[in-house]
Amino acid sequence: MASSDMTSRTSSPSTADAIDAIDNDAVSAPLLPAATTRLPPARVYPRPGSGKTLGVTVATIIILFLGWWLITARAWVAPLFLPSPAAVWNAAVQAWSGNVQGGLPLIQHLAWSLLRVFGAFVLAAITAVPLGLLMGTSRIVRGIFDPLLEFYRPLPPLAYLPLIVIWFGIDETAKILLIYLACFAPIAVATRAGVAGVLSEQLHAALSMGASSWQLLRHILLPAALPDILTGLRIAIGFGWTTLVAAEMVAATAGVGQLVLNASNFLRTDVVIMGIVLIGIVAYLFDLIMRRLEQKLVPWKAHR
């Protein structure tokens, strides 16, 4: 017992010294920053290619117009091949009043072209989107329609134009059908690609909560595929306008494409360029509308 007491007395001073040493180290150690210390703001790096382009676009148009005016003013190119901007404007004024081949005013030509293009485009949209959804969700539907779609999609419209004329005659049905086929494939392919790009985690989460097939299509597949669908619509309307001239070759008496073709036969280059500019402006305005619609319907696309 005596030895035990001596041991405890001997060890006590060493324990106290160790505690004092720890306290001295704690005091001398640098203080950590408090949790409330304000960190520097995070730097946000822009996405490549992001930013407004209005100024660049306007400057490009002005430069191109000035170059066109300079080339024609200096007579570096014959007017037969490149008429001046003033000549094209005069051709537009003549066409507006109907003083060109055919005698119809320009607004009537434009109305017929808009009816054909947008009529075929709407028919293609309401049929190609459901088919693309089915192809993306059903292997049977994909096995049936994928070979047919991929077979005719690379074919130029002029390749099957004679067959359409033989089958459907030279009425408006043949013209609208030709534009419809040009618009159908891009929409269906884009819709199928959009469905295929849906994340499996989204599908598993919805199915684990008991979602039905209709709920899965409405709340998961369709919203996720909507950006690709809108892109397909934009591409399709471009194909529709490029097919317009070929469609209006089929015994058309009115239409911007028919006006351009008729003017080319009489070497009216000013009317040809006027029709090309008109088609480009209308197509560009529709593309701007589709971009605005895309921003409203799929605002998350810009942040993916």
| Within a domain: 280 | yes
Considering only CA atoms, which of 247, 267, 9 is closest in space to residue 119? 247
Question: Cβ distance 101 to 118 under 8 Å?
Answer: no
| Within a domain: 252 | yes
CATH number, domain containing residue 126:
1.10.3720.10
Work out the pLDDT band at 48, boundaries 50, 70, 90.
confident
Helix extents (H) in 74-138: 85-97, 106-137
Per residue in 5-27, pLDDT (tens digit) is: 444 444 444 555 554 554 555 44
Q: Please tell me what DSSP assigns to residue 171.
A: S
| Within a domain: 4 | no
In the chain, pLDDT over 90 holds for what percent of residues? Answer: 40
Lookup: tokens for 212: 């039905």
| Within a domain: 49 | no
For the chain, the average pLDDT equals 83
| Within a domain: 127 | yes
| Within a domain: 31 | no
pLDDT at residue number 44: 75
Per residue in 244-259, pLDDT (tens digit) is: 888 887 767 888 888 8
How far is the C-alpha of 114 from the C-alpha of 225, rounded, in Å?
28
Q: Which domain holds residue 268?
A: 74-303
User: Phi and psi dihedrals of 270, rounded to 5?
Assistant: -65, -40
Query: Both ends of the chain: CA-CA distance in Å?
Result: 78
DSSP, collapsed to helix, strand or coil, labels residue 47 as coil
Q: Please report, as a single letter, which amino acid is at residue 291.
A: R
Lookup: tokens for 211: 């979602």
- At a CB cut-off of 8 Å and minimum separation 6, what does 152 contact? 160, 181, 185
Per residue in 175-198, pLDDT (tens digit) is: 999 999 999 999 999 999 999 888
| Within a domain: 105 | yes
pTM here?
0.77
Whether the CA torsion 248, 251, 255, 261 is positive or negative: it is positive
In the chain, pLDDT over 70 holds for what percent of residues? Answer: 86
Domain total in the chain: 1
Query: Which of 170-184, 199-213, 276-290 comes out lowest in average pLDDT?
Result: 199-213
| Within a domain: 62 | no
